[in-house]
Amino acid sequence: MKVSELGEFGLIELLAKIVGKSKGESVLIGIGDDAACWRTEASLQLATSDTLIQDVHFTLSTITWRALGWKALAVNLSDIAAMGGLPQYALVSLGLPEDTEVESVAELYEGMKELACLFDVAIVGGDVVGAPVVVLGLAVVGVSQNILTRSAATPGDRIAVTGCLGASAAGLAMLRKGLKFDEKTTATLREAHLKPHPRVVEGQTLARHGVKAAIDLSDGLVSDLDKLCKASGVGARLFTSQVPVPPVVRKSFGDDSINLALTGGEDYELLFTAQGEIIDKVREAMPCPVTVIGEIVDEPGGEEPGRVKIFDEQGNEVKLDKEGWEHFAHLKGDSGQVY
């Protein structure tokens, strides 16, 4: 069987099975969450890694080297944020074609460093190798006291998100299709797509207030919520009328804006679930908007997919024909995450 037939998530499940459990009790979270987590004498350690590949995850025609550096690190910090952790150290492993300009690589590092400084993350290592296309391999290590996992959602929980959704996908659509908007809109959408701000402080705030279940929104709201439901063995009801779409997206993309918010991905906001009273407390403590968009219900059973049911303003169930993207599937079409 080809990996494209099995799909990204099926493959990850298979690999997790091969790897199995090891090191006894010290590993709390292995493969399959936003980051790995293990216990040391003094704390919980978190670690995550991601590889970004030219013309799969980004194209240099729509992103500057500096923004690419920022974004590559942001994606990893967001994974630590989704576990409620404090990112501390980053390792960078670069694959570069030999005709890459040194100035470009320096810009890439300046972008990473800019974000690293914001969050007091030290870039402590990494190597450089030759490659046919640009390959960015990052690993980030952090610590936590209480962790957020994908597997802790419970029926009766409310589903909430930080910030707004859809601006990153709107920015991607603008950049790829060459859409023209006014200067401010263009700048806002561009920034949303190219320089996401990982919700590090927010993730720690969630963990501190007793939230247990969270995931960061990288692949798309519906797709990521489905992953959380699957890991928790629950179902979800999602109300489109409550999904926070920023006015700039509504204005520029009209009826399409809700689809961008539901399936676009790369907003790097946090989705979390908790009892209503906890969410009320969290909302007061958070430095950003928190919006309830649905509720966790018992696992509906039956055929997949179907864990996430989506309802429109009139209370009618709606179906999506594209629930975010899978890394392999997208290689076939033009619906990929190319920033």
**Shortest CB 217 distance to a second copy, Å:** 16
How far apart are the C-alpha atoms of 215 and 222, rounded to whole Å?
Answer: 12
DSSP symbols for 154-205: -TT-EEEEES-SSHHHHHHHHHHHT----HHHHHHHHHHHHS----HHHHHH
- The residues facing 122 across adjacent strands are 89
Query: Any idea which residue has 């994908």 for tokens?
Result: 150
Bridge pairing between strands 122-125 and 86-96: parallel
Q: Which amino acid is at 135?
A: V
Q: Which is nearer to a second copy, 54 or 188 (CB)?
A: 54
**Shortest CB 311 distance to a second copy, Å:** 31
CB 176 within 8 A of CB 169: no
Q: Which is nearer to a second copy, 32 or 300 (CB)?
A: 32
Q: Which is nearer to a second copy, 114 or 295 (CB)?
A: 114
Q: Which is nearer to a second copy, 135 or 248 (CB)?
A: 135
How far apart are the C-alpha atoms of 86 and 144, rounded to whole Å?
Answer: 6
Q: Is 191 left (phi over 0), alpha (psi -120 to 50) or beta?
A: alpha
**φ/ψ of residue 210, rounded to 5:** 95, 5
**Shortest CB 51 distance to a second copy, Å:** 4
**Shortest CB 8 distance to a second copy, Å:** 5
Q: Helices in 209-308 by DSSP H: which ranges?
A: 221-232, 247-253, 257-263, 276-285
DSSP symbols for 215-230: EE-SS-HHHHHHHHHH
Q: Which is nearer to a second copy, 91 or 231 (CB)?
A: 91
**Shortest CB 188 distance to a second copy, Å:** 28
Q: Which is nearer to a second copy, 100 or 242 (CB)?
A: 100
**Shortest CB 110 distance to a second copy, Å:** 6
**Shortest CB 222 distance to a second copy, Å:** 19
Q: Which two tokens stand for residue 75?
A: 């994606």
Q: Which is nearer to a second copy, 55 or 277 (CB)?
A: 55
